[in-house]
Structure 1
Amino acid sequence: MIATVVWGTGNVGRAAIRAVEAHPALKLADVIVHHPDKVGRDAGELGGLGHRLGIAASDDIEAVLAAGHRAVVYAATGDIRPDEALADITRAVRSGAVVVTPALYPLYDHRSAPPEFREPVLQAIADGGGSLFVSGVDPGWGNDVLPLLISGLGTTIDAIRCQEIFDYSTYDQEDSVRNLVGMGHPMDYEPLMLAPSIPTMVWGGQIRLMARALGTELDDIRETMDRRALDTTVTTRTMGEFEAGTQGAVRFEVQGIVEGEPRIVIEHVTRIHASCAADWPTPPDGGDGAHRVIIEGRPRIEVTVEATDEGENRSAGGNATAVGRLVGAIDWLVDAQPGLYDALDVPLRPAVGRLGRKQG
C-alpha cells in the first residue's frame, strides 16, 4: 500500500483523511497540522470519522517528510499564502513524494503558469524525483474533465459554461468568506478575490486548459463582475451575523474569448443567504450548492452535480469530490514517471475496490 501523508486538516484536509483511509491502495501514514491544539490528536478524530486511527497529528514537518512516505495530500490553503504553499509543496516533491493539492491556482494549467511557480516545481522534481498534480477545490473536475467529457457528446458546440452555485452560510472558513470574498463588508470594500485580474489568475488556467483540449485558440480572457447587498440582516450557523446593506452575493465570469465571443466560461454565483440575489441561478432543488455544466449547441446539454458530505452539507460535498479527484490520482501518479501533471494528463478512473466499502 502507498504510505500517504495528509498535510492540513481544515475543510479540505478533513475530507482528505477520509478519502485516503477509504482508498484500498493507500495507507494513511501521517498527518501534519499547524495549530498547536491539534498536535497529538488522532487522525480519525480530525477527519470526522468517529473512531480512532491510531495516528497522532504532528507539526514536525521535517521528521514526517524524512520518513520517506510515498505520497502527500497538501491540504493547507494557498489563498493568502501562495509563496509559503509553494515552498511547502516543493519541499515535499523534493523528498521524492507524489504530491496532490488544490493550493496553487497558477498550476491548474502549468504550461501557462508564471515561471516563478513552474520552475521551482520542475527543479524539485529533478532534484528529488517526486511529482505534482494540482486540481481545483471548487471543484476542478467541474472546470476541466466533466465539461470536456460532455463536449464529446455534441454535434456542434457554440459555448461551454461551467457554473458553481454556492451558499456560503454553511461554510466553515470565515476569514476567506468575509475578507477574501467580501461577504458582510460594505459595498465599497474591495475584497482581494474579486479585484480585477484575480479571477483570471485563479481560473484562467482552467480556461486555457479546456481551450487546449478542444484545439481552440483564445483571443483573450475577460472578466465580468456583479455584486448585491443584503436586503435584511441574516444569521448563519457557522459565521454569525451579516448585516443588511453589506455584500450578500457575488456573480462573476471568467470568459475565454474565441473570435470575439465568450465561448468557454467559468461562472461563480455565491451567496451568504438564499434570499440575496434570488433572480440569479440557483440549485435545481433550492439547496445550498450545485455544480453545473452547460453545452450550448446542438444538442444543448446540461448536467448538474449535487454532492453532500458531513451530514447534508453541500459545501463539504464539493470539497469531498475535489479531494476524491486528487486522492484517486495518487496510485496512478506513483506508477507514472516523475513530473508535473495537469487534469488532461491524469485520468479520472472508476472507484475500483471502493464499492460497498465502509469506514468505521
Structure 2
Amino acid sequence: MIATVVWGTGNVGRAAIRAVAAHPGLALTAVVVHDPAKVGHDAGPLADLGRELGVHATDDVDAVLAEGPRAVVYAASGDVRFDGALTDVVRAVRTGAVVVTPALYPLYDQRNAPAELREPVLAAIADGGGSLFVSGVDPGWGNDVLPVLVSGLGSTVDAVRCQEIFDYSTYEQPDSVRHLVGMGQPMDYQPPMLMAGVPAIVWGGQVRLIARALDVEVDEIRETLDRRPLETDVTTRTMGEFGRGTQGAVRFEVQGIVGGKPRIVIEHVTRIHPSCAPDWPRPPSGAGAHRVIIEGRPRIEVTVEATDEGENRSAGGNATAAGRLVNAIPWLANAKPGLYDALDVPIRPGHLRRA
C-alpha cells in the first residue's frame, strides 16, 4: 500500500480523499487542512463519504511531511496563491514524495514552462528523489489525453476543439467565481482570470500538449473573449444572489494557431445561471459537460458528463480531475524520479468495486 496524503479539502480535495479511500493500492495516512475549524475532524465526513476513515485532519504540515509519505495529492488552490502553492509542492517533492496536483497550471506543459518554475522543482527532485505530475482541474484529461485519443479514430484531422460548458450556480467556491471570474460583478469590472494573456498562461500548455501529440508546431496562442450580463436577479444555492446587469456568463477561447488558422482550441462557456446566454453551447443535461470535437473525416464529437456528491451537485468534473491524479500515483511511484506531464503518464484502468 502506498502511504498517501491529501493536502486540502476543497472541491478537489474532497474528491481526492474519496478516490484515495477507494483505491486498493493506496492508504490514506493524513489530511492537511488550512481552516482551524476542520482540524481534528475525520476525513470521511469532511469528504462527504458517509463514513469515517479513522484519519483526522491536521494543520501541522511539518509533522505530516516528517512521516515521509510516499505520495501527496496537493489539492490546495494555486489560483490566488500561486507562489505559496509552488513552495508547498517543492517542499513535498524534496521529501521524496510523488506529488500530484492541479494547482501549478504553468507546469501542465512542463517542457515549455518558464525556467524559474521548472528549476526549483527539478532541484527538489534531485535532492529528495520525488516526482511531480500536474494535470488540470477543468479537467485536464478533457484538454489533453481525451482529444489526442479521439483524434486517432479518424483518417484526417482538420481541427481539434475542447469545450468545458459549466453552470457555476451549484459551485462552492465564491472567491473564485465572484472575484477571479467576475460573476456578479459590474460589467466594467476586470476579472483577473479574464485579463488579456491570463487564459493563454493557464490553458496554453494544454494546447501545446495536444500539438506535441499531433506532431505539429503552434505558431502562436491567441485568445477570444465574450461576456454577457444577467437579464434578471438570480439566487444560487451555494453562493447567494447575483444581480441583474452584472456579469452572468463568460465565453472564451485559447487558440493554437497552426498555419495561420486556429486548429487547436480550448473553449470555456460558463454561466452563473442557465437563463444567461441561452444561444451559447449548453450541456445535454445537468450543470456541465466536457466535449471534444474533431473536425475532419469523419467529424467526431464526444461529450462526457460526470456527477458526484449528490445529483444536484456539480462536482463531477472535479471528481474526474482528482481521479486522474490519484490513479496516476502507482505508476509514478514505480517510475524514476522526475517532472512529468499528461503525455508521459498513462491513464490506468479503474478498479471494479467488489460487492
More off after superposition, 308-317 vs 54-63? 308-317
Alpha-carbon deviation of 1:193? 0.2
Return the alpha-carbon distance in structure 2 between the equivalents of residues 316 and 250 of structure 1: 19
Alpha-carbon deviation of 1:315? 2.6
2:2 and 2:27 in contact (8 A); partners too: yes
2:171 and 2:313 in contact (8 A); partners too: no
Q: In the alignment, does 2:327 pair up with 1:328?
A: yes
Kindly provide the CA deviation profile for residues 85-108 of structure 1, in whole angstroms up to 9, marking residues without a partner as x: 000000000000000000001000
**2:15 aligns to what?**
15
Change (3 A) 1:108 1:314: farther
**2:292 aligns to what?**
293
Counterpart secondary structure, 2:199: helix
Alpha-carbon deviation of 1:301? 0.1
Change (3 A) 1:61 1:7: same
Return the alpha-carbon distance in structure 2 between the equivalents of residues 308 and 118 of structure 1: 35
2:131 and 2:339 in contact (8 A); partners too: yes
2:41 and 2:56 in contact (8 A); partners too: yes
Counterpart secondary structure, 1:161: strand
**1:44 aligns to what?**
44
Counterpart secondary structure, 2:76: coil
Q: Which ranges in structure 2 are unaligned for 5 or more consecutive residues?
A: none
Superposed counterparts of 1:174-213, under 5 Å = 174-213=174-213
Counterpart secondary structure, 1:346: coil
**1:6 aligns to what?**
6
TM-score, normalised by the number of residues in structure 1? 0.98
Kindly provide the CA deviation profile for residues 156-201 of structure 1, in whole angstroms up to 9, marking residues without a partner as x: 1110000000000000000000000000000000000000000000
1:5 and 1:29 in contact (8 A); partners too: yes
1:68 and 1:95 in contact (8 A); partners too: yes
Return the alpha-carbon distance in structure 2 between the equivalents of residues 177 and 209 of structure 1: 27
Q: Which runs of 4+ in 1 moved over 6 A?
A: none
**2:103 aligns to what?**
103
Return the alpha-carbon distance in structure 1 between the equivalents of residues 105 and 314 of structure 2: 19
Alpha-carbon deviation of 1:312? 1.4
Return the alpha-carbon distance in structure 1 between the equivalents of residues 63 and 6 of structure 2: 14
**2:56 aligns to what?**
56
Aligned length: 355
Kindly provide the CA deviation profile for residues 29-57 of structure 1, in whole angstroms up to 9, marking residues without a partner as x: 00001110011111111111111111111
Superposed counterparts of 1:153-232, under 5 Å = 153-232=153-232
Q: Which ranges in structure 1 are unaligned for 5 or more consecutive residues?
A: none
Counterpart secondary structure, 1:315: coil
The alignment-based identity, stated in percent, is: 77
Question: Given residue 69 of structure 1, which amino acid in structure 2 is its aligned partner?
Answer: P
**1:319 aligns to what?**
318
Return the alpha-carbon distance in structure 1 between the equivalents of residues 354 and 189 of structure 2: 48
User: Cα RMSD between the aligned structures?
Assistant: 0.8
Change (3 A) 1:357 1:120: farther
Return the alpha-carbon distance in structure 2 between the equivalents of residues 39 and 208 of structure 1: 40
Counterpart secondary structure, 1:266: strand
**1:310 aligns to what?**
309
1:290 and 1:304 in contact (8 A); partners too: yes
Counterpart secondary structure, 2:83: helix
Return the alpha-carbon distance in structure 2 between the equivalents of residues 44 and 261 of structure 1: 49
1:307 and 1:314 in contact (8 A); partners too: no
Alpha-carbon deviation of 1:356? 2.5
Return the alpha-carbon distance in structure 2 between the equivalents of residues 184 and 266 of structure 1: 24
TM-score, normalised by the number of residues in structure 2? 0.99
Return the alpha-carbon distance in structure 2 between the equivalents of residues 11 and 212 of structure 1: 30
Alpha-carbon deviation of 1:288? 1.1
**2:267 aligns to what?**
267
**2:120 aligns to what?**
120
**2:353 aligns to what?**
356
Alpha-carbon deviation of 1:284? 1.6
Return the alpha-carbon distance in structure 2 between the equivalents of residues 220 and 333 of structure 1: 32
Counterpart secondary structure, 2:176: helix
Question: Given residue 244 of structure 1, which amino acid in structure 2 is its aligned partner?
Answer: R
